[in-house]
Amino acid sequence: MITSNIIKKKTILVVCGGTSSEREISLKSGKACSKAIRSLKHKVLTFDPAKKNFITIKNYKVDLIFNALHGRDGEDGIAQSYFEYFKIPYTHSGILSSMNSMDKIISKKAFKKNKIRTPSYIELNTINYLNVLKEKNIFRSNLMYPLILKPSNEGSSIGVKICKNFLDLRKHTNKLIKKYKTLIVENFIGGQEIQVAVFNGKPLGAIELKPKRKFYDYQAKYSKSANTEHLMPADLSDKKYKEVLVLAKKAHKALKCRGITRSDFKFIKNKFYLLEINTQPGMTDLSLVPEIAEHSGISFKNLVKNIINDASINR
């Protein structure tokens, strides 16, 4: 019996762009992934939710969806709910895991429940912030300046402010609460910036970032001119390197993630603090997941191939 090595050609819809603050990065991820998919001999169609309503996806005759969206509507369960409703197999995490991972308050509760260390925090929203935002409440909550103030459901460090004192905190809160409705205040953790990629429960490796800027913000992540230094593998002892891989795997499992994720840690005084987990990590030429995968022997093309092969519904 002769077995065929011919790969069945699929029609794949790459969904990218969207209306979130991370639109430009999503377009770059979509472009890079489309190129890799074409090199795998599949047919590529693209869909931008900023130009067409999600509901029109039902009109596309495709075998699966490659989700290259980042941020709101693409990473928070909205896009995934359409993919599930139309029963089109898709990549990355499902509705609930996407929604819970994107919401930093829900994900922090999951980390704590699973004994994964995360910075102390308080939640601010349009209803409680005037009562909660008092200096005495800050100290009662084990918070110490400088503090990080950020939206509870944004990615790529968008809207993040470092507050050196209460006046800073109040000023930035009054401004951000109008736009984001729910904010999180947490301790600023110094030390090493460590990020771990996990694919379906298997850690691929840990990278260390040394930003030249105040912290690893949007510019440091996506601008070559920021000159952020990447150390792969991360500069950790063998024991600590293995420990952070285990923690990332645990976080991936705790939030019931699928496909690829990236967990963002800080390492200081021999302790890891998990800041967040990203279910739609960037796939650009400056992105960390492809760099980590490459170091573990997985080319960008094969990484995309593995993500495609994992596509399904009921995620």
- The pLDDT tens digits of the residues spanning 17-27 come to 999 989 999 99
Question: What 3-state DSSP class applies to 150?
Answer: strand
Q: What is the pLDDT, as a whole number, of residue 131?
A: 86
> Is 64 in contact with 90 (CB distance < 8 Å)?
yes
Residue 174 designated active-site: no
Nearest partner of 77 among 62, 90, 60, judged by Cα: 90
**Rounded mean pLDDT, 233-259:** 98
- Of the residues 262, 287, 310, 315, only one is catalytic, namely 262
121 is catalytic: no
User: Of residues 76 and 130, which shows the higher confidence score?
Assistant: 76
Name the catalytic one among 264, 287, 310, 315: 264
Reply yes or no on whether 186 is catalytic.
no
Out of 75, 154, 276, 310, pick the active-site residue.
276
User: What is the residue-averaged pLDDT of the chain?
Assistant: 91
**Percent of the chain clearing pLDDT 70 (strictly above):** 93
Sign of torsion, CA 173 177 180 185?
positive
Longest dimension (CA), the chain: 77
pLDDT level of residue 224 (50, 70, 90 thresholds): low
Does residue 94 carry a catalytic annotation?
no
- Nearest CA to 194 out of 140, 121, 273 is that of 273
Is 276 tagged catalytic?
yes
- Give the chain's domains with CATH numbers: 11-91 (3.40.50.20), 100-117+190-303 (3.30.470.20), 123-187 (3.30.1490.20)
97, 152, 156, 263: the active-site residue: 156
Of the residues 282, 287, 310, 315, which is catalytic? 282
Kindly give, in sequence order, each residue whose CB lies less than 8 Å from that of residue 229, ignoring residues fewer than 6 positions away.
Answer: 209, 210, 211, 212
- Annotated active-site residue 282? The verdict is yes
Banded pLDDT at 310 (limits 50, 70, 90):
very high
Strands in 271-278's sheet, in edge-to-edge order, are 229-231, 202-210, 192-199, 260-268, 271-278
pLDDT of residue 2: 38
Mean pLDDT of 162-181: 93
User: Is the pLDDT reported for residue 248 higher than 90?
Assistant: yes
Q: Residue 213: what pLDDT? A: 56
Per-residue pLDDT at 1: 37
Catalytic residue among 222, 273, 310, 315: 222
Average pLDDT over residues 34-63: 97
Predicted pLDDT of residue 212 = 75
The Cα–Cα gap between 72 and 89 comes to: 21
113-140 pLDDT, tens digit per residue, is 999 999 999 999 999 888 888 888 888 8
